[in-house]
Chains A and B, each alone.
Chain A
Amino acid sequence: MLLFAAVLALAGGGARRIVVAPGGEVPTVAAALRLARPGDTVLVTPGVYREPRLEVTVPVTIIGQGEAILDGGGAHEVLTLRADGVVVRNLTIRNVGSSMTEDRAGIRLDRVRGCVIADNHLLGTFFGIYAARSSDCVLSGNLVEGHAAAQTAAGNGIHLFSSRGFTVSGNRIRGHRDGIYLEFSGHAAILGNDSRDNFRYGLHFMYSDSCEYRHNAFTRNGAGVAVMYSRRVTMTGNRFEDNQGAAAYGLLLKEIKDSRIDGNVMARNTVGLFAEGVDRSEIAGNQFLGNGWAVRLMADATDNGFRRNRFEGNTFDVATNSSTSSPSTFSENYWDGYTGYDLNHDGFGDVPFRPVRLFSVLVEQNEPLIILSRSFLLDLLEAAERVAPVLTPETLIDSRPLMRWRRS
């Protein structure tokens, strides 16, 4: 394909290089884009270009050299891609300004495919990168930094609407409403991004089937990460850390089917994993460390398997609003609260572990009782409840708890 393009370029007299420089032969990016033919490269030399509403309508490569800054002047979009195969690299785009009526973006992808947006800085753009009805593009290594002071004035860092097959990798996103927002966008790969200090979700995900997230870090976001109404989602090796607040979750799952959540670390969140209406999913090899609630499992979550997870230092390991049965299974997890024994030395405890504490049931029914956390009385009641469970769900047990944590 590349070879073909190169041959084509040679045949057409070679791809040209158009150099944009303030005071030069081509002083504006807009002028360069008017001159450009398919396959050309637009080289933007250092300088501040106050040119809002640039439209790219032919497949060109736009590369910034040093500090090439495109300034939106505080009230306009900057770059809109309307051609397939456009490459935008190493530009700084800033000062788009927020709006209540339009979703202005630093870089907008409108009905395109095969574009590459890499290594750009998007600073104080209302929406960083906004892709609508596009497919098979790569967004990688960008720094997307919002400067809004409040959620109402912030847009999303990377916003995919009704787009397919995107790769979003190695971006650093902060200070936006949602770090990465996917809506009706299937088959996306979200890899190695760092999304932190956003007002709402580090990653927000609606109606987007068959996506995968690997090795991302989501830190100190207002409400953590939300993955909703999707099927076949793979979440592997991500870190969810320090998402604390009244409605903050490391990972909030709602109406998720047939998904895999494995090898993630959830540390110091108010709620590590919140699962509502999650079905037929596997939660394995994750580490829940020092969360308020490691897992909150709603009664409508069914047929999920929790295997080989590590629960350590959480105030509550598992909480549920169901008192009778557990529609999900727990096995071979490591629980730091486990006090059983292992007579045959196979590495698994011989007596089952009940991860739902009496206290978590009490708090579930009556939240202010959290003030009794670590009370001596509750330790006594807990011991009694363990001998003869009355209030805690009888079937929510791990019958083969790991004696020692090890990665399997």
Chain B
Amino acid sequence: MTSLTVFRYELQDLRRSRWVLGYVACLLLLTEALLRFGGGGPRAVLSLMNVVLAVVPLVSIVFGTMYLYGSRNFIQLLLAQPVGRGSLFAGLYAGLAIPLAAGFVLGVGAPFLWDGAGEGSLAGPLLMLLGAGILLTLVFTAVALLVSLLVDDRAKGLGLAILLWLAATALYDALIVLAATSLSDHPLELPLIGLTVLNPVDLGRVLLMLRLDTPALMGYTGAVFERFFASALGTALAAGALVLWCAGPLAAAHRRFCRKDF
């Protein structure tokens, strides 16, 4: 009950904040522009894929940490009241992640809806895109929560958040390229699948790519990936990894939140 109250308050607070509105407006504008001028539906989905994979994690983690630092006083005030820390934590997370995820779905989904571009063969990829965006939002707000609780200094926390985003979107892939080129004599398909599963951004990208880029992936190696991620084990592993990526940081943050001396 208390977490619901916190959630509701936070929702109001976020609605007032121009950040989320700006986020939705940007996504709306971008999607609409891509649909109108980017050469139709399928290519709009492809371009949006880059947005989802880079911008959604960035906004989630940066906005998340900033918001949590900003509401430090509010948290302390609530903690002085007879409110359980667990329910306060749940309200905080839900109040942050759900508006961001909803904003994303609205910003990307609405133009498809009113342009009628999301029907037919595009419905599958679009749903996949929305699903990946929601999951990435959940993962990176959880990470933001953990960062803001681990680091008390606002500037350092923000720096760490941006670093984590950079690591997940670019540095990690750079390591994969390095590893793959230096070990090119070995069969790399399975190790690469393993490495992909360990990074939520890469995982989201590969799952989307398998839906959108099929002709290129029908080559020998692509077929190995396709077979893996289309199999029951692969799907379970991918879904499990994303859930773990959300639950892991969340559990750590929860532990920290319950013990932290504010």
Contacts and interface: CB of A to CB of B under 8 A. Distances in A.
Given A373-B209, A374-B50, A379-B50, A246 B177 contact: no
Contacts of B49: 374
Contacts of A269: 215
Contact of A371 (B171, B192, B214): B192
Given A366-B180, A366-B184, A366-B188, A372 B173 contact: yes
A268 B50 contact: no
Contact of A374 (B42, B189, B209, B219): B209
A115 to B, nearest CB: 40
Contacts of A367: 219-221
B54 interface: yes
Interface string B20-35: 0000000000000000
B44 to A, nearest CB: 12
A365 interface: yes
A315 B174 contact: no
Interface residues of A, number: 34
B196 interface: yes
17 contacts: A246-B218, A246-B219, A270-B215, A270-B218, A316-B216, A362-B181, A367-B219, A368-B189, A369-B180, A370-B216, A374-B205, A374-B213, A375-B170, A375-B205, A376-B50, A376-B173, A378-B173
Contacts of B46: 374
A370 B215 contact: no
Contacts of A375: 170, 173, 202, 205
A377 interface: yes
B137 interface: no
Interface in B219-239: 219-223, 225
Interface of B: 39, 42-43, 46, 49-50, 53-54, 169-171, 173-174, 176-177, 180-181, 184, 188-189, 192-193, 196, 201-202, 205-206, 208-209, 213-223, 225
B253 to A, nearest CB: 26
Interface of A: 244-248, 268-270, 290-293, 312-313, 315-316, 336, 362, 365-380
Nearest to A371: B192
Contacts of B209: 373-374
A292 B192 contact: no
